[in-house]
Amino acid sequence: MATSYNRQTNLYISGTLDSNDLKSIRADMSRLVNEQAKMTIGSDKYILHAQSIRQLSGMIVELNMQIFNTCQFFLL
Residues, the chain: 76
How far is C-alpha 27 from the geometric centre of its chain's CA atoms?
9
Radius of gyration of the chain (CA): 16
Alpha-carbon distance of 70 to 42, in angstroms, equals 40
DSSP helix/strand/coil, 19: coil
Sign of CA dihedral 39, 44, 48, 51: positive
Whole-model pTM: value is 0.68
Question: pLDDT of the chain along its 76 residues, tens only?
Answer: 556 655 666 656 556 656 667 888 899 899 999 999 999 999 999 999 999 999 999 989 988 888 888 877 666 6
